[in-house]
Structure 1
């Protein structure tokens, strides 16, 4: 029992990014004690199962945002590990063709078939979450790398295969990130950047690098996110299609936002809109950017305003976007509603924020997405400042462990 409680305390503490000392301080504050009689060493004993918190359980549960029952719950049996990219790829350069080719001759027909499967996976990601798609995505990536390394092909076919590996790595990395497998996603993204560069496709390399920068920005590596998003923009060259440049700038805006840098974030948003306005001038955009339009840029703009605590700008924009959004894209709908909930809380509208949060929780309940799960946790923490509002209190009581 004590080992289960200890494991739960540690997991919940780390989810909040707290040190053991911070948790000890929060417990003492919740108990109304002065002088922090519970210290870091005591928390360490709890987490290691050397001591059971007993009388401290209610305070622990309260500051960690769960019920006492959740703290006491036994650990779930470990699921079989998912395959990783390292399971599929050889040591050294994973894109180096084998000297002794064992596969058959590969022509453009195989490239076209791979292109269709990559696009199919991208379309599936519009309606399914990362947890549902991670296995088929990794299988496709393994097969594509094997086809390139083991088959015999001309230099042009090889270049087109590398391009498809790059596109596949971008969507597979995105799926892995949505499943909460960030280290795996980073390895996949880096593989994709290598493939795109070898294929001499700077636009694709910039898209993959921007996706990795987005992950950095969302996982506590804000400075790296800014640096990589900026690098993707600067390395793309002058001939990049306007829609691709708009996406790079979109990533730059978000990276600066997460780093707390409002002015460069707003400037990048303006430049992204200007770039997208040039998309009608006849320059063909890559097929994988089919989803990027003015509506998506408005979504990012509204999210930036929310993160910068400018609810009077964020709320109307989010309502406009959500009123026109495709309701079949449940994950994105849940994510965008989550920013509306936070913006409403910042606008001192806790009742409506609680209502929108309930919708987010309902939509997220059957989605195997770490992104939506994390956003639910963010909203509920934000609403804790309105515990005196009946609607909020009822919501938090109904979902203590959400």
Structure 2
């Protein structure tokens, strides 16, 4: 019963698009309490089952607009709820070393082992979706933080451990975002930014901040996305490797495109291409930028053109990139095809757009990725303008449950 209540609170809160802090505020408002004595941490304890909100149930139910019976109803889902950062890390400062460390002494061999596991998780993300990876990703993050906090080590080993925690937080945040766990992803990203800054690695901090900016832009927080993407680029500095600057400029371009700001978006794309042009075999770049290349920049360029409703530029670029794309990267293939479908619709080619959309749905059917699911909803919503076209009418009739609903996520 206790875990059912927490899962029900979390499910209904998420359906309303509320944060845990928002729910705490609404509960206090219903209860007539000033000062918000119920905060995010208390709501997190309810949702994870660490505390049962017995006396708060009526206020929670009223705030959420449901009955107390709905909150106490047994869960029907067989799958356990996705974990959260709070499940894996201590409530206090997660990166604060324990005063009395009882763990073993660790050295660079342990750092190297962690580095390999982090990179393995990145490679797994190339072919698996967030729903498949979020549990192992968070377990790895907990293990890394525990190692840093409880072990004894030199200051240099500590700095390298923090760097790996930052890298791990970046990929774990990306995975959480792909699983639709946006609040958790933001917490994970902020943990990673803290670790990177403590390690004095500005390039890494910029990468993580840019990833968070990307999520903000895609979830309706467009002005925040622009501000953070620009800050990530600025803080990384001119000494950042060319690949890093190209990536951060791409994120600036995307943030501006999501905000409908065409000129700064196009300018950032041009600067990204120039930055990548400075890369050479003699230039050393962090391992986590292994995927940044001219092809990826063309993909971002085409997506920006699509977002800015310039299909005559977007369609040729997307077709060029997709013609040789690795089909084992199912999620990315589905996402990039979704942009092609949108660009074709904008180019008044609804029949071809419907054919591509069907392929996106096929690829996404076995891919537990909220990004793909949301992109599917976005495409079907766009195709409703062409519902009289037989091919479009057929796909809309075949997939009525995939039509969009208000959830505040623009998808990418």
Same structural fold, with TM-score higher than 0.5 when normalized by the shorter chain? yes
Task: Confirm whether residue 328 of structure 1 aligns to residue 328 of structure 2.
Answer: yes
Which structure has the larger Rg?
1
After superposition, the Cα gap between the structure-2 partners of 1:12 and 1:179, relative to the gap in structure 1 and judged at 3 Å, is closer
After superposition, the Cα gap between the structure-2 partners of 1:11 and 1:392, relative to the gap in structure 1 and judged at 3 Å, is farther
SS in 1 for 2:131: helix
Residue aligning to 2:137: 137
Q: Give, in whole Å, the separation in 2 of the partners of 1:13 and 1:284.
A: 45
Q: Give, in whole Å, the separation in 1 of the partners of 2:329 and 2:281.
A: 30
Residue aligning to 1:219: 219
For residue 312 of structure 1, report the CA deviation from its aligned partner.
0.7
Residue aligning to 1:249: 249
After superposition, the Cα gap between the structure-2 partners of 1:13 and 1:156, relative to the gap in structure 1 and judged at 3 Å, is closer
- Show CA shifts across 1:276-323 (max 9, x none): 000117220101000010000000000001011111111111100100
Residue aligning to 1:178: 178
For residue 14 of structure 1, report the CA deviation from its aligned partner.
6.0
Residue aligning to 1:298: 298
Q: Give, in whole Å, the separation in 2 of the partners of 1:373 and 1:14.
A: 18
Residue aligning to 1:289: 289
For residue 86 of structure 1, report the CA deviation from its aligned partner.
1.3
For residue 102 of structure 1, report the CA deviation from its aligned partner.
1.3
SS in 1 for 2:279: helix
Residue aligning to 2:400: 400
- Show CA shifts across 1:167-215 (max 9, x none): 0000000000000000000000000000000001000000000000000
Residue aligning to 1:4: none
Task: Confirm whether residue 264 of structure 1 aligns to residue 264 of structure 2.
Answer: yes
Matched pairs, number:
340
Q: Give, in whole Å, the separation in 2 of the partners of 1:322 and 1:76.
A: 41
Task: Confirm whether residue 85 of structure 1 aligns to residue 85 of structure 2.
Answer: yes
SS in 1 for 2:400: coil
RMSD: 2.1
SS in 1 for 2:280: helix
Q: Unpaired runs of 5+ in structure 1?
A: 1-9, 16-46, 50-74
Task: Confirm whether residue 160 of structure 1 aligns to residue 167 of structure 2.
Answer: no
Q: Give, in whole Å, the separation in 2 of the partners of 1:175 and 1:134.
A: 6
Residue aligning to 1:124: 124
Residue aligning to 2:318: 318
Residue aligning to 2:239: 239
Residue aligning to 2:147: 147
Task: Confirm whether residue 381 of structure 1 aligns to residue 378 of structure 2.
Answer: no
For residue 93 of structure 1, report the CA deviation from its aligned partner.
1.6
Q: Give, in whole Å, the separation in 2 of the partners of 1:89 and 1:389.
A: 52
- Show CA shifts across 1:145-176 (max 9, x none): 00000000000000000000000000000000
Q: Unpaired runs of 5+ in structure 2?
A: 1-11, 18-64, 68-74, 403-412
Residue aligning to 1:100: 100
Q: Give, in whole Å, the separation in 2 of the partners of 1:243 and 1:254.
A: 17
For residue 81 of structure 1, report the CA deviation from its aligned partner.
2.4
- Show CA shifts across 1:249-292 (max 9, x none): 00000000001100000000000000000011722010100001
Residue aligning to 1:357: 357
Q: Give, in whole Å, the separation in 1 of the partners of 2:139 and 2:182.
A: 18
After superposition, the Cα gap between the structure-2 partners of 1:13 and 1:116, relative to the gap in structure 1 and judged at 3 Å, is closer
For residue 91 of structure 1, report the CA deviation from its aligned partner.
2.8
Give the TM-score of the pair, scaled to structure 1: 0.81
Give the TM-score of the pair, scaled to structure 2: 0.80
Q: Give, in whole Å, the separation in 1 of the partners of 2:397 and 2:135.
A: 36
Q: Give, in whole Å, the separation in 2 of the partners of 1:146 and 1:12.
A: 29
- Show CA shifts across 1:203-256 (max 9, x none): 000000000000000000000000000000111122110100000000000000
For residue 76 of structure 1, report the CA deviation from its aligned partner.
5.2
Q: Give, in whole Å, the separation in 2 of the partners of 1:115 and 1:92.
A: 25
Residue aligning to 1:344: 344
For residue 11 of structure 1, report the CA deviation from its aligned partner.
10
Residue aligning to 1:230: 230
Residue aligning to 1:66: none
Q: Give, in whole Å, the separation in 1 of the partners of 2:320 and 2:114.
A: 38
Q: Give, in whole Å, the separation in 2 of the partners of 1:188 and 1:13.
A: 21
Q: Give, in whole Å, the separation in 2 of the partners of 1:162 and 1:387.
A: 53
After superposition, the Cα gap between the structure-2 partners of 1:76 and 1:266, relative to the gap in structure 1 and judged at 3 Å, is farther
Task: Confirm whether residue 274 of structure 1 aligns to residue 274 of structure 2.
Answer: yes
Q: Give, in whole Å, the separation in 1 of the partners of 2:167 and 2:378.
A: 31
Q: Give, in whole Å, the separation in 1 of the partners of 2:243 and 2:295.
A: 13
